[in-house]
Chain A
Amino acid sequence: MTRETAATARSYTPWQATALVTLRLLIGWHFLYEGLGKLVNPYWSSASYLGEARWLFQNQFLNIASSEAALRVVDFLNVWGLTLIGLALLLGLFARAAAIGAVVLLALYYIVAPPFVGFTYAVPMEGSYLVVNKVLIELAAVLVLLAFPTSGIFGLDRFLPWTRPGAVGGLRRAQA
């Protein structure tokens, strides 16, 4: 955190700050429920989703899905990743790390089953998508959170010793 960041943080209008914090809370809520929902469902497994893989890293995804041990690790990482990222975004604690994690997870989800022309899936999608789907849009929304951090003021990051007062969280921006 630098003085520049701190100064930048102060430069959001209340309207901008409200919009950004709302976006962060909504995405956090979504991640947290996706994680907890899977955590409490004894039948949930990422196998069927990974089994749909047909693009980049297809073989790796399929191998994970077919290996009991690998699947257990991936399921664990996914469930707890989602839960902790959701909690972090909601609380505004370690929000930058959480956002980076969210981008990685969302990118993986997108890569497994991208809505490209000619790709059909056993499980029908709930909407109509061409190249762009909700996963990609959520990924872009998390990029917005990374670019315009808010947790340094509206979140527990504010209490972290290394967060300078007034800082909004991680990303360094040139002062306008």
Chain B
Amino acid sequence: MTDERKDVGGDQPAADSPADWTTMSRRGWLKALVSIPVIGVFVYNFVRKRAAEATKRQAIMAELGVSERGPAVIPDLISKPPGERLRVGIIGFGGEGEALVRHAGFAHPGWVEDARKAVAENPRDKQLEVYLNQQDLNIAITAVCDVFDVRAERGIAASQVEVRPGGGALPAAKRYRRYQDMLQSGDVDAVIIATPDHWHSRMTMDAVAEGIHVYCEKCMTRTEEEALAMHAAVKASDIVFQLGHQNRASESHNKAREIIAANILGPITLVEATTNRNTPWGAWVWDIHEEGNPATIDWEHFQEPAAHKVPFNLGRFFRWRCWYDYGTGLSGDLLSHEYDAVNQILEVGIPKSAVSSGGIYYFKDGRDVPDVFQSVFEYPDRDLTVMYSATLANGRNRSAVFMGHDASMRVSGSLTVSADSDSTRYEQKIKDRMIDPSVPMFTYQPGLKGIDAVTSATEEYFASRGLLYTYQGGRRVSSYHLLIGEWLDVIRNGGQTSCNIDRGFEEAITCHMATRSYLEGRRVTWDPVRRRIV
């Protein structure tokens, strides 16, 4: 081997000075610059690849008429800096009520402490950061009403929290044992209603009578009759009403509207929307508070509007979603979200008919609402079927799919559009290999950069559907906060809330059609003239 070796460097003069290269031979130069042609080939190919990709992208985007960049159809829901301080009352300070008040800028001090510990343990935990980065909505929580003493006290503590966006403690809220007293006190300009569904319409209509603005949780009402009465009352009033469907503030849902407006999917004949959860918590087996007892809970007041009166029952109080007396189970809790998202994106309104089925197949714990529930809604005027399917005993993630002749769109926290291989519109592009039906031709992922720690399975479920958080300019914002912010903005500056009483009415009637069909074991229809479910 040794004798085969050639002196590969030996073409250089054996001089030691650093300036040797000035006297370097031609061969030496060639060797030193050996990679230049390779770099040339690289640059040539890189530029070609870039140009090819850009052409393809531009062709697709021009064809689609939308931009992949972020939307921001919802640049900032709060149009002007909040003016004078609004006095807000909260009715129902349970899990949802506490969350709403926190997203309005008033976290319970215990929550702040827990959130601080969570960040100390896991710097990826963003809840405190999101809370503190919220815009100061310039409101005060002046009144709290809850039938459970412990929760009323928590509400009062939250109203005077020191750690909040905008900073500084405000005076403590006053507790009311009857919401009517709160509405008549003159202490509130607006109320957030986060009670069980069987109270929503009565409270809203009483607020309307006092000229008080309402933010109401879904489902808007428990029954069809309540929906009709509540809709009429709010329509006839000047109050600002917002129904709590956070998807209205989600970037990807707003992007989906853009996709529909650009008619990228072609004729849409089927929409599949789903809910899957697989935890007791997700099936409303919520904690029973240790201090809950007949002395701390005003049970008779709680069940006052309920169809059936029963003796004091902790399970029914703390896990009310499991009984038709207080809500409508999957229909009002989760179908309502999915339906409102479809309604937001397609503006479908109330369906012509609904057929539901299901049963209590897994949580045989005494509940009377189904834990597996399917509903099929027909929209003959739109040549469209909307299918909803849910189980509370399986957690497989199935995002909503909008199926058009030319493309399918999946919508959850993110959004993808894939061309259909048999599409008419994209036929030529697919043939020309400009569009590949096996990969999304359009992806939109808000807040793509960075990951968040989201803890419980139920939270993950909501986060994956854009119901907990959305993104503005890549920054995580709570969609609750945006929706409350929008409501307050409309109160101050006028305009329309995105989930107003008309959208709420459509949501309530659609959910009640599904419930009626399930309970009566038959197909029900909506009579738009008589405005009745028949």
Which residues of A are at the interface with B, using a C-beta cutoff of 8 A? 6, 9-14, 17, 21, 25, 28-29, 32-33, 36, 40, 43, 45, 47-48, 51, 62-63, 65-68, 71, 75, 90-92, 152-156, 158-159, 161-162, 164-168, 176
Contact = CB atoms under 8 A, between A and B. Distances in A.
A165 B6 CA distance: 16
Given A159-B21, A165-B16, A66 B32 contact: no
A161 B19 contact: yes
Nearest to A157: B32
Interface in B84-139: 123-124, 126
B35 A154 contact: yes
Contacts of B186: none
A48 B447 CA distance: 12
Contacts of B2: 176
B42 A32 contact: yes
Contacts of A40: 50
Contact of B46 (A21, A33, A67): A33
Given A66-B452, A71-B450, A90-B39, 10 more contacts: A9-B8, A13-B5, A47-B448, A65-B451, A66-B126, A66-B451, A67-B124, A90-B42, A158-B32, A165-B12
A167 B445 CA distance: 51
B529 interface: no
Interface residues of B, number: 40
Contacts of A71: 449-450
Contacts of B7: 10-11
A67 B42 contact: no
A155 B36 CA distance: 9
A63 B125 CA distance: 10
A29 B9 contact: no
B34 interface: yes
Contacts of B16: 164-165
A131 B24 CA distance: 47
Interface string B19-41: 11100100010011111001100
Nearest to B68: A43
A21 B34 contact: yes
A9 B8 CA distance: 7
B124 A166 contact: no
Contacts of A168: 9
Contacts of A11: 5, 7
B528 interface: no
Contacts of B15: 165
B449 A47 contact: yes
B311 interface: no
B62 interface: no
B449 A92 contact: no
Contacts of A90: 35, 38-39, 42
A154 B46 contact: no
B38 to A, nearest CB: 5
A62 B449 contact: no
B4 interface: yes
B67 to A, nearest CB: 12
30 contacts: A9-B8, A9-B9, A10-B9, A13-B4, A13-B5, A13-B6, A14-B6, A14-B8, A21-B35, A25-B35, A33-B42, A45-B450, A47-B448, A47-B450, A63-B123, A63-B124, A65-B124, A66-B452, A66-B453, A68-B449, A75-B449, A90-B39, A92-B34, A155-B35, A156-B33, A158-B31, A158-B32, A161-B19, A166-B10, A166-B14
Contacts of A165: 9, 12-16, 20
B477 to A, nearest CB: 14
B450 to A, nearest CB: 5
Which 3 residue pairs of A and B lie closest in terms of their CB atoms, listed nearest first?
A161-B18, A66-B124, A166-B9
Contacts of B20: 165
Contacts of B32: 92, 153-156, 158-159
A47 B451 contact: yes
Nearest to A161: B18
A13 B34 CA distance: 17
A1 to B, nearest CB: 10
A158 B46 contact: no
Contact of A67 (B9, B13, B14, B450): B450
Contact of B123 (A17, A32, A66): A66
Contacts of A161: 18-19
B4 A153 contact: no
Nearest to B36: A91
Contacts of B445: 43
A79 to B, nearest CB: 13
Contacts of A47: 448-451
Contacts of B13: 165
A67 B39 contact: no
B60 to A, nearest CB: 16
A66 B451 CA distance: 5
Nearest to A22: B38
